Amino acid sequence: MEENWQKLSPEEKFEKRLASWLSPEGVEFVSKEAEAAYKGRVTRIVDAIQLKKTPDRVPVIPHVGFYPAYYAGFTPQEVMYDPDKAVAAWTKCVLDFEPDVKFSVNSALPGKVLEILDYRLYNWPGHGVSPNHGYQYVEGQYMKAEDYDALIQDPTDFWMRTYLPRIMGSLQPFALLSPLTNVVEIPMTPPNISRYGLPEMQAALEKLAEAGREALKWQRRLAEADKKLEELGFPRASRGMSKAPFDVIGDTLRGTREVMLDMFRRPGKLLEAIERVVPMMIRLGASGPTTGSPIVMMPLHKGADGFMSDEQFRTFYWPSLRQVILGLIEEGLVPELFAEGRYNTRLEVIRDLPKGKTIWHFDQTDIARAKEILGDVACIKGNVPLTLMQAGTPEAVTSYCRQLIATAGKGGGFILATGAGIEQGKAENLRAMIQCAKEYGVYR
């Protein structure tokens, strides 16, 4: 971390991040044109975010899941096991469509790493899902009701000795360990270290090291390709992700059913745990270098319309999410809240944020209303339906996008995007969407 970083104001931190996003270190642009295109793209997005001035045109950022794989003629399984295929697919997709940011190759996670870990939180192509489909979350109770106190007392210890053994078969022996904080003074050191000598624990550590080596290899291969795309003029979209604390409990730990029941059965514990997760999520979003894109993706799940009442949203979901958002803004970051499903009943509540510091990516929310209620506070992003991308015609896509630009795009503060990540869609529809921003999205 840069020296004196902690002494900088949020605004200064943001400016520093922005400067390095605009002129990324170690990136040698292939041409003056590529450099100008890169800077133009970053500036366009930043202008849309900050709500200070109108960008030159509406930025266009389609979201893709495994679309690049299908587009290049590979299955999701192939790109999760062969980094060269992943790189080829994503590179081809970016160069063919020329969106305003690179498509994130993050969908292509290394299947081998998941295999070594015997990962259980998701099914992935060839493991519980057909080779031709993307990965899917497996609903389950990975934290039991009686585990709340352990989580609240020491999240890291809970993660290491209880949670990880449950979601990764290879790390089950970690349940045999004692808390690391038991290592206190000389007499307590050997007895608490001895468990690392158990044969099953040694095997688990071997697996972890092997998975680590694989993950690193994969990461380096992809980073190399990523850099090449930057040199060709396509900026990175986001630096990483974070989550709403309620979703950490609901998606990651307890499962949908259980977290809903907890709102009735143990609301106090649930709120205490949520509060405990807040600093973890700020740390997650802010971890890593102080350079590059300031955007932190935050997929939101269980606070959507229908998932809970307004009162429940205001009690269990929003206050902690707002704390995470503000904490990230403090770090000079730009949280991008991806409201999956609909957020029509939440717009008035989520307005309570500082101006020009966030992006709200809407999926099926009424975007004209979102613009009306939220447009003076946040950059609005969205929301071409995936159904239209997959089953519609290019003409229908163009007319939808023109309408979006005319309403949500008015006066800036808007990014044209798909409602969610495209899996299988028509190339001509994607082309129509991007073309539409370039043709009709120009501000005069």
Task: Return residues touching another protein (CB under 8 A).
Answer: 123, 129-130, 133-134, 136, 138-139, 256-257, 260-261, 263-265, 306-309, 312, 340-341, 364, 385-388, 390-392, 419-420, 422-424
124 with 140: CB under 8 angstroms?
Answer: no
Residue number, 66 or 218, with CB nearest to another protein? 66
Q: How far is the CB of 266 from another protein (least distance, A)?
A: 11
Tell me how crowded residue 14 is: count the other CB atoms within 10 A of its CB. Answer: 20
Q: How far is the CB of 29 from another protein (least distance, A)?
A: 36
Torsion angle in degrees (nearest 10) through CA of 97, 100, 101, 102: 10
Alpha helices in 248-365 (DSSP H): 256-265, 267-286, 310-312, 318-330, 347-350
Q: How far is the CB of 24 from another protein (least distance, A)?
A: 33
Give residue for tokens 């604390």.
245
Residue number, 179 or 319, with CB nearest to another protein? 319
Q: How far is the CB of 77 from another protein (least distance, A)?
A: 14
H or E element, residue 338: strand 334-339
Residue number, 58 or 422, with CB nearest to another protein? 422
Residue number, 80 or 87, with CB nearest to another protein? 80
Residue number, 302 or 371, with CB nearest to another protein? 302
Residue number, 133 or 269, with CB nearest to another protein? 133
CA-to-CA distance for 74 and 60, rounded, in angstroms?
Answer: 25
Q: Is 383 helix (H, G, I), strand (E, B) or coil?
A: strand
Residue number, 21 or 103, with CB nearest to another protein? 103
Distance separating the N- and C-terminal Cα atoms of the chain: 41
Q: How far is the CB of 346 from another protein (least distance, A)?
A: 12
Q: How far is the CB of 232 from another protein (least distance, A)?
A: 29
CA-to-CA distance for 161 and 180, rounded, in angstroms?
Answer: 10
Kindly state the DSSP code that residue 313 receives in the 8-state scheme.
Answer: I
Tell me how crowded residue 221 is: count the other CB atoms within 10 A of its CB. Answer: 16
Q: How far is the CB of 426 from another protein (least distance, A)?
A: 12
Spell out the SS3 assignment of 74-132. Answer: CCHHHHHHCHHHHHHHHHHHHHHHCCCCCCCHHHCCCHHHHHHHCECCEEEECEEECCC
Kindly state the DSSP code that residue 163 receives in the 8-state scheme.
Answer: I
Residue number, 152 or 260, with CB nearest to another protein? 260
152 with 273: CB under 8 angstroms?
Answer: yes
Kindly state the DSSP code that residue 129 receives in the 8-state scheme.
Answer: E
H or E element, residue 359: strand 359-362
H or E element, residue 297: strand 295-300
Q: How far is the CB of 309 from another protein (least distance, A)?
A: 5
CA-to-CA distance for 233 and 229, rounded, in angstroms?
Answer: 7
Q: How far is the CB of 67 from another protein (least distance, A)?
A: 10
Residue number, 31 or 136, with CB nearest to another protein? 136
399 with 439: CB under 8 angstroms?
Answer: no
Q: Is 354 helix (H, G, I), strand (E, B) or coil?
A: coil
Q: How far is the CB of 313 from another protein (least distance, A)?
A: 9
H or E element, residue 150: helix 148-153
374 with 412: CB under 8 angstroms?
Answer: no
